[in-house]
Structure 1
Amino acid sequence: MSGASTPVSGEILSAAAKRLGGQQSQRGGGGGGGMRLEDEIQVTVQIAEIIARQRYIMSLCKALMAFGAPTHRLEEYMQMTAKVLEVDSQFLYFPGCMIMSFDDPSTRTTEVKLVRVAQGINLQKLANTHRIYKNVVHDVIGVEEAIQELQEIQNKPPRFNKWIVVLVYGLASATVGPFAFNARPIDMPIIFFNGCLLGLMQQVLAPKSALYSNVFEVTAAVLTSFLARAFGSIPKAMVDGKRQWLFCFSAIAQSSIALILPGFLVLCSSLELQSHQIVAGSIRIVYAIVYSLFLGYGITVGTTIYGLMDGSAVSDIQCPKAGAFKNPYVQRFPFVALMTVWLLIINQGKWKQLPVMTTIAMAGYITNYFSTKRLGSNSQVANTVGAFTIGIMGNLYSRLWHGHAATAILPAIFVLVPSGLAASGSLITGVASADQIRHNISTPGSTSQPGAGLSTNSSVWTLAVGMVQVAIGITVGLFIAALVVYPYGKRRSGLFSF
């Protein structure tokens, strides 16, 4: 947080107390000096209270941004808090920072503060921050106590060790494979290995090197897609004159990067644009699209490199039927419940919220699954139906049982994103361009025809477009659900949900 330096309110109050004690010891002298000193002390105490309220607003904003609060409602939370605390202020949110101006009508001055935070997700700390926010808004605790509690939350170490999170990355990647990308049991150990590799790069290597963190997404996509095509190209016995493969290339490639898909990023940008926050939404959606292009580029490069090394590399983007799960429901529903457990650990959630998270995620996925079967390739409508179910259940959990809707809904949204992308088939389209490049190199005298690069460009763009389509479907469903459960909003504390 930056801005003009202000004394801590406790120091001001202690100074005022000393002056008051001095005044009482000298009261025998009489005169108007005592009254003037009392007025001065009263003004000092009032200033200390105002500064404490401003410090609380800045601390609350910092915590909400750092722990994954709904970004399209951040300005609303700040305005609600300022209104309750009687602080004359205005707020402007940009991705990663909040600009605050505190006005003083008596002196006609304005103090501008900039709160800048690296945004992340921590479901346990987010729920605790929301509890403090509600307690202050409803006059249960004072701002000084709230500031101290927020400081304790921010200084608390993560609930789960990063090496546990790396292991869970592998488990989550293996779990997402069957229900989102038709992975078979034989593919899951390979997906687990790739997922652990991804977790190691994100949790251990990227924080240690600022330079590597800039290229983390591309290197992760290149490495995992290269390994996926390498394992997928292991041949099996011939059946009816057709070569069979031991592992499913497309399931391994897609499941391995499912946890770094920018689903939450695109969803936040869509929610901001839907809420008419043009500046924040536009900035974030452009970044999310470019991020998706990086991932699509990485998949294309990884598959192309292995295709150049192995002339008989696999090009099938459908998983073979042999060895697949016999029952489609067994293949999907138990793994969705397991995925919720892994998402809770990755996002540092509370165990007591697991039953609610699992119920909401299962309900959202089941409605999405049957809607997709009914509507076919139109996955946007299916995503809207799934998100509407999630939103209704999450908001009812908040309204009837006074639970925390945002943390309960988030894992369910993370389950919907890879499912929607799998339905649109946008993740694995880089194989066609990889085969085209190999054909151009292996065929003597072949030259690029006009428009030959079109398929490469379109394959990279397909992932970005698919991400936006999925997010738009989820956004509409969440907004309609919030409207149904809270038709007039929440008057005092603001709606703490997506």
Structure 2
Amino acid sequence: MLYGAPTHRLEEYMKMTSRVLEIDGQYLYIPGCMIVSFGDATTHTSEMHLVRVVQGVNLGKLHDVHTIYKEVVHDMIGVEEAMTRLEVLIKAKLLYPAWCCVIMFGLSSAFVAPFAFGGRWIDMPIAFLLGCVVGFLQLIVAPRSDVYTNVFEITAAVFVSFAGRAFGSINRDLFCFAAVTQGALALILPGYIILCGALELQSKNIVAGAVRMFYAVIYSLFLSLGITLGAAVYGWMDHNATSDTTCPTALSPWYRFIFVPAFTLGLALINQAKPRQLPPMIFIAGGGYVVSYFANKHFSEASEVASAIGALVIGILGNLYSRIGHGLAFAAMLPAIFVMVPSGLAAQGSLVAGITTADEILSNKSVTTTVSGTVTATVTATSTATATSALSSTASIWGVGISMIEVSIGIVVGLFMATLVVYPFGKKRSGLFTF
């Protein structure tokens, strides 16, 4: 849980380990916590433990943990040696320091803007600066302040939206508001949370899946509210602010196949991947994106179908890497999934829909009339147009969460189909450490 194992497989891992170690154990996983019960058949008693941990992602340490788990399950090492190695692993420092990850955060934001959100060369430096600010807030400021952690998403979205609209308003054809804003926020999208929730629901883990799904939707609403507030504040200051949600021009589609490996590399380094893990991660992410890109040409009205096809390729490549190369499939596929989520959202254009709501907030002016020359009355418009405006505002706020659920469900279907293709009968001696 600490290093980002696939949560819908955790109970399976523990049952398999208990079987190998000949322990009578029962396990129940809920988000951020696992309840463990050890039974004793001779005394008819049981011992219960509550393991709580803040879930994170560390691809390098996750690979090491999986190696230890695999060696224990296959009787290659004993429990005492495994515990010693785990203690050393937990105390080990991060592979890349926080300041390096902040720079990678900015570079990844710059690389994702062109291939996912239609950005151009001139938009990349702005996306890099805003991405560095978001990375600094997430990796350095938030861990040091519990109070700020609670409002990180909103403050980051407000700042990025405000600054992005400010740059986009300098010259309508110079900077692209949509590409800059979405690129800077792409790395804090709750796509991984929704993906885990959908995987848990698909695995019939209803409690954990429903809790995680609901949290991810509320998280998406926080981001949407932040984008709306930032755009509205700048629109209040500048009446000539841009309202374009698309870029006037875009780079050649062939440049996308350069930026996808660069973005995958940045994501892997941010999530502490080891150098030897990088080649398969980049290859799998590139293969999945190429298939998803061309599938989206044929299924432009149903982005979840293109996501499912891309995820099927990612899952097959990742599971073949695990089966043939004996690597960790989950860690190899995770950066590729992070590439799929912003691409799917960009196909639906829901992330910057909040700017429409911001314009409606500023244009909702009361009408002042004079009655009999002495009485001033403020008349609030209640026409059908106003009702339609309110409905569209609500739809734009909910749009991010709904779009992310649609994309994630498509990805989940593709991943489960890929696992079925490569492992039609499962694995006998160890749990499926994969999606």
TM-score, with structure 1 as normaliser: 0.83
* Structure 1 SS opposite 2:36: strand
Q: 1:206 and 2:130 equivalent? A: no
Q: 1:180 and 2:116 equivalent? A: yes
Report the CA distance shift for 1:125/1:376 in structure 2 as closer, same or farther (over 3 A): same
Q: 1:487 and 2:424 equivalent? A: yes
| Deviation string, structure 1 residues 282-326 (Cα, Å, up to 9, x no partner) | 1110100100111111111111111111100001111012xx42x
| Deviation string, structure 1 residues 23-72 (Cα, Å, up to 9, x no partner) | xxxxxxxxxxxxxxxxxxxxxxxxxxxxxxxxxxxxxxxxxx10000000
Residue 371 of structure 1: which of 292, 295, 298 is its match?
295
Q: 1:419 and 2:419 equivalent? A: no
Q: 1:99 and 2:35 equivalent? A: yes
Match of 1:246 in 2: 174
Shift of 1:443: 6.9
Residue 16 of structure 2: which of 77, 80, 88 is its match?
80
Shift of 1:399: 0.8
Is the contact between residue 366 and residue 381 of structure 2 (CA under 8 Å) also seen in structure 1? no
Letter in 1 for 2:59: L
| Deviation string, structure 1 residues 4-23 (Cα, Å, up to 9, x no partner) | xxxxxxxxxxxxxxxxxxxx
Is the contact between residue 440 and residue 447 of structure 1 (CA under 8 Å) also seen in structure 2? no
Match of 2:357 in 1: 433
Is the contact between residue 440 and residue 446 of structure 1 (CA under 8 Å) also seen in structure 2? no
Q: Please give the alpha-carbon distance, in whole angstroms, between the structure 2 residues aligned to 1:209 and 1:119.
A: 18
Report the CA distance shift for 1:442/1:258 in structure 2 as closer, same or farther (over 3 A): farther
Residue 305 of structure 2: which of 369, 372, 381 is its match?
381
Match of 2:234 in 1: 306
* Structure 2 SS opposite 1:87: coil
Letter in 2 for 1:251: A
Is the contact between residue 59 and residue 272 of structure 2 (CA under 8 Å) also seen in structure 1? yes
Is the contact between residue 119 and residue 180 of structure 2 (CA under 8 Å) also seen in structure 1? yes
Match of 2:253 in 1: 328
Letter in 2 for 1:81: T
Match of 1:109 in 2: 45
Match of 1:292 in 2: 220
Is the contact between residue 366 and residue 380 of structure 2 (CA under 8 Å) also seen in structure 1? no
Residue 231 of structure 1: which of 164, 167, 173 is its match?
167
* Structure 1: runs of 5 or more not aligned: 1-64, 236-243
Equivalent positions of 1:341-380 (< 5 A) are: 341-380=265-304
Match of 2:373 in 1: none
**Size of the alignment, in residue pairs?**
422
Match of 1:26 in 2: none
Q: 1:399 and 2:332 equivalent? A: no
Report the CA distance shift for 1:253/1:446 in structure 2 as closer, same or farther (over 3 A): farther
Is the contact between residue 356 and residue 408 of structure 1 (CA under 8 Å) also seen in structure 2? yes
Q: Please give the alpha-carbon distance, in whole angstroms, between the structure 2 residues aligned to 1:140 and 1:448.
A: 75
Residue 205 of structure 2: which of 268, 277, 282 is its match?
277
Match of 1:19 in 2: none
* Structure 1 SS opposite 2:2: helix
Report the CA distance shift for 1:345/1:448 in structure 2 as closer, same or farther (over 3 A): farther
* Structure 1 SS opposite 2:296: helix
Letter in 1 for 2:132: C
Match of 2:375 in 1: none
Letter in 1 for 2:142: A
Q: Please give the alpha-carbon distance, in whole angstroms, between the structure 2 residues aligned to 1:227 and 1:195.
A: 11
Q: Please give the alpha-carbon distance, in whole angstroms, between the structure 2 residues aligned to 1:205 and 1:189.
A: 23
Q: 1:257 and 2:169 equivalent? A: no
TM-score, with structure 2 as normaliser: 0.95
Q: Please give the alpha-carbon distance, in whole angstroms, between the structure 1 residues aligned to 2:254 and 2:160.
A: 28
Q: Please give the alpha-carbon distance, in whole angstroms, between the structure 1 residues aligned to 2:289 and 2:380.
A: 47
Letter in 1 for 2:360: Q
| Deviation string, structure 1 residues 412-455 (Cα, Å, up to 9, x no partner) | 00000000000011101111111111111487667353524222
| Deviation string, structure 1 residues 383-429 (Cα, Å, up to 9, x no partner) | 00000000000001111111110110000000000000000111011
Structure 1 stretches of 4+ moved >4 Å: 442-446
Is the contact between residue 263 and residue 417 of structure 1 (CA under 8 Å) also seen in structure 2? yes
Report the CA distance shift for 1:95/1:268 in structure 2 as closer, same or farther (over 3 A): same
Q: 1:447 and 2:380 equivalent? A: yes
Match of 2:244 in 1: 316
Letter in 2 for 1:166: V
* Structure 2 SS opposite 1:257: helix
| Deviation string, structure 1 residues 98-140 (Cα, Å, up to 9, x no partner) | 0000001111111000011110000010000000001000110
Letter in 2 for 1:428: V
Letter in 2 for 1:367: V
* Structure 2: runs of 5 or more not aligned: 369-377
Shift of 1:349: 0.3
Is the contact between residue 233 and residue 245 of structure 1 (CA under 8 Å) also seen in structure 2? no
Q: Please give the alpha-carbon distance, in whole angstroms, between the structure 2 residues aligned to 1:133 and 1:419.
A: 34
Q: Which of the two has higher C-alpha Rg?
A: 1
Is the contact between residue 390 and residue 409 of structure 1 (CA under 8 Å) also seen in structure 2? yes
Q: 1:70 and 2:6 equivalent? A: yes
**Higher relative contact order at CA 8 Å, sep ≥6: structure 1 or structure 2?**
2
Residue 468 of structure 1: which of 391, 401, 405 is its match?
405
Shift of 1:468: 0.4
Q: Please give the alpha-carbon distance, in whole angstroms, between the structure 2 residues aligned to 1:415 and 1:227.
A: 24
Shift of 1:340: 1.2
